[in-house]
């Protein structure tokens, strides 16, 4: 763990507490979102450090940040979508925190947040729900459609890691599929695009699969990226094989998400395969055989089977979703 | 093949094998150690644990072992045909008493002359283990003298009926067939293994004499 990052994360929470109190005084809504929300307030125990503060705020962000005035040196950063976001830096001593403020409603329907309590003073903070955060993390992976504008390995890795941590702790709620659709609509509106859900899903799966190729030279996420990521880790090292498992799990879940009302049954079957049958010789051989028939490199399949058998099972379900039709993932 | 599982490795070695079976259920590997031969050795004090598997899995095998705190104080050798110490710097900084043992992870995909232990884990026959010791010591890859390897072989030859034909065939595959034949000749001369097929004794004598002549040649 990097000490500088730890100091920054500490400041994220200090600033959040001040902003939450001020927003409440102003009778405005402030919702804590993003990786910091996942790690510091939603998971029982943080698994990685997160050093940026992402919030939604219903009022005037400039006025809100005035409350930091005497303690922090606050500066505005340039925003390409000033109607949607305000970006700030808050500096105190040698610690700088980036504050990204979303100005658009998080969802078209409902309020995807809940009250949680922060710090010794038990300050009430509105935090996005796990279902919403998972939907938003999944949609961020759709680089090329509604997700992040460019593929940045570290951001992609953090999104994959956070989504997996949410699934580990909360599973996948029924609302996630609905929120996913809503987040995609918001992103489409923001970017003036009109991507439909199937092509968005396809772009997520394609990005995940190319990020986790066994050949490090061809993989979009390389060993060196994991080395950098591990500076943020609070729970040991994330190895390449761990990354394969996380990425392929999300790819399989994406397929399940597309099955709508059958989603939860599909997820159950995926997890059963990955946790109960991964060690069975016949099952692994079947996965390997069917994937090879689908044109997947046999060397990669063998490597998966030996080094990360659970990843092989998730990889299989990313191509053969339970209750769905087999899918050949094309380059998006 | 005679079932030699009654001559299984030490409990700690079996624990390591079970750990690998659990962590990597589809990895085919063989494992063994020196515990059977310990009474025959003079200078070998620490057990040496061998794990034979495809090269692809070496780093992950070592990583899986390193996750166990009690396995961190081992000197680890790894390699394709020539295993080399991968944590030599660490070992140099330790007192010899702190190093608990040696783990050798070698690239092998040949699991003939082995019995199934559990899942995909195999235990090599005593014959194969003895020939491997000869091969490693002769080639100087491991901190193990040729005298110790010969002592182990002689001790086993005296105490049990070794399958000499199997050993000879395996020794040829390990490119030490000529050396094995010389040893058979010497053991036969000493009366240590009277059941040795005269064919090996004959060829062994030829190699032995030839080596002596080379030694005397000016």
Residues of B in Cβ contact (< 8 Å) with A303: 56
Percent of chain B with pLDDT over 70: 93
Note the pLDDT of residue A111. Answer: 85
Candidates B19, B26, B67, B119, partner chain A, best to mutate (most A CBs within 10 A) = B26
Say if residues A147 and A238 touch (Cβ distance below 8 Å). Answer: no
Ranges of residues in chain A whose predicted pLDDT is under 50? 331-332
Are residues B26 and A305, on separate chains, in Cβ contact within 8 Å?
yes
Model confidence pLDDT, tens digit, residues A221-233: 999 999 999 988 9
Is B106 touching A (CB cutoff 8 A)? no
pTM recorded for the entire structure:
0.87
Domain A3-128 bears CATH identifier 3.30.460.40: yes
Q: Is A150 exposed, middle or buried (0-12, 13-18, 19+ CB in 10 A)?
A: exposed
Q: Do A307 and B60 touch (CB under 8 A)?
A: yes
- Confidence at residue B18, expressed as pLDDT on a 0 to 100 scale: 93
ipTM of the complex: 0.80
Length of chain B measured in residues? 218
Q: Is B33 exposed, middle or buried (0-12, 13-18, 19+ CB in 10 A)?
A: buried
Q: Is the pLDDT of residue B72 over 80?
A: no
Residue A276, SS3 per DSSP: helix
pLDDT for B4 beyond 80: no
What ranges make up the beta strands (E) of chain A?
Answer: 30-33, 52-57, 73-77, 85-92, 95-102, 113-118, 123-128
Min CA distance, A327 vs chain B (Å)?
26
Residues of B in contact with A278 (CB under 8 A): 25
Residue A278 in contact with partner chain B when CB distance is under 8 A: yes
Confidence (pLDDT) at B1:
40
Beta strands in B54-195 (DSSP E): 74-79, 84-85, 101-107, 114-118, 121-124
The contacts of residue A141 (CB under 8 Å, 6+ apart) are: A147, A148, A156, A159, A160, A163, A204, A207, A208, A250
How far apart CA A281 and CA A271 sit, in angstroms, is 17
Q: Nearest by CB to A241, from B25, B54, B60: name it.
A: B60
Nearest to B28 by CA among B103, B104, B119: B119
> Would you list the domain boundaries of chain A?
3-128, 133-319
């Amino acid at each position: 763990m990097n000490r500088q990052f730890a100091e920054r994360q500490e400041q994220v929470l200090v600033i959040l507490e001040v902003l939450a109190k001020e927003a409440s005084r102003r009778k405005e809504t402030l919702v804590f979102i993003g990786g910091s929300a996942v790690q510091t307030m939603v998971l029982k125990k943080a698994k990685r450090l997160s050093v940026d503060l992402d919030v939604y705020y219903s009022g005037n962000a400039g006025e809100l940040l005035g409350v930091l005035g005497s303690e922090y040196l606050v500066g505005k950063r340039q925003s390409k979508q000033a109607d949607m976001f305000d970006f700030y830096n808050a500096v105190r001593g040698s610690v700088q925190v980036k504050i990204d403020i979303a100005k658009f409603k998080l969802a078209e329907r409902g309020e995807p947040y809940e009250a949680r309590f922060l710090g010794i003073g038990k300050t009430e903070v509105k935090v996005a729900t796990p279902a919403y955060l998972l939907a938003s993390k999944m949609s961020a992976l759709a680089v090329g459609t509604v997700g992040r504008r460019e593929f940045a390995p570290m951001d992609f890795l953090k999104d994959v890691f956070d989504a997996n941590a949410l699934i580990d702790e909360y599973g996948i709620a029924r609302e996630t599929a609905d929120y996913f659709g809503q987040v995609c609509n918001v992103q489409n509106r923001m970017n003036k695009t009109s991507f439909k859900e199937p092509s968005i899903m396809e772009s997520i799966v394609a990005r995940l699969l190319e990020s986790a190729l066994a050949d490090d030279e061809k993989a979009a996420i390389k060993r060196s990226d994991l080395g950098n990521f591990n500076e943020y880790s609070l729970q040991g090292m994330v190895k390449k094989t761990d990354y394969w498992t996380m990425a392929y799990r999300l790819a399989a879940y994406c397929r399940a998400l597309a099955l709508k009302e059958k989603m939860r049954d599909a997820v159950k079957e995926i997890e059963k395969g990955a946790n109960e049958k991964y060690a069975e010789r016949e099952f692994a051989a079947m996965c390997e055989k069917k994937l090879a028939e689908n044109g997947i490199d046999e060397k990669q399949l063998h490597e998966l089977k030996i080094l990360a058998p659970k990843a092989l099972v998730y990889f299989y379900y990313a191509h053969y979703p339970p209750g769905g039709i087999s899918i050949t993932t094309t380059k998006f | 093949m005679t079932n030699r599982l009654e001559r299984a490795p030490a409990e700690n070695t079996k624990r390591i094998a079970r750990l690998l079976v659990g962590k990597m259920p589809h990895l085919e590997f063989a494992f063994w150690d020196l515990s059977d031969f310990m009474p025959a050795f003079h200078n070998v004090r620490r057990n040496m644990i061998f794990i034979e598997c495809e090269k692809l899995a070496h780093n992950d095998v070592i990583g899986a072992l390193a996750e166990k705190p009690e396995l961190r104080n081992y000197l680890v050798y790894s390699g394709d045909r020539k295993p080399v110490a991968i944590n030599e710097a660490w070992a140099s900084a330790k007192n010899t008493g702190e190093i608990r043992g040696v783990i050798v992870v070698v690239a092998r995909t040949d699991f003939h002359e082995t019995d199934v232990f559990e899942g995909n884990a195999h235990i090599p026959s005593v014959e194969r283990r003895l020939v491997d010791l000869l091969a490693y010591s002769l080639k100087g890859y491991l901190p193990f003298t040729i005298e110790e390897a010969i002592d182990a072989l002689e001790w086993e030859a005296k105490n049990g009926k070794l399958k000499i034909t199997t050993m000879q065939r395996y020794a040829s595959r390990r490119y030490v067939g000529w050396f094995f034949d010389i040893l058979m000749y010497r053991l036969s001369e000493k009366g240590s293994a009277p059941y040795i097929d005269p064919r090996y004794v004959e060829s062994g004598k030829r190699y032995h004499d030839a080596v002596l002549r080379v030694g005397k040649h000016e």
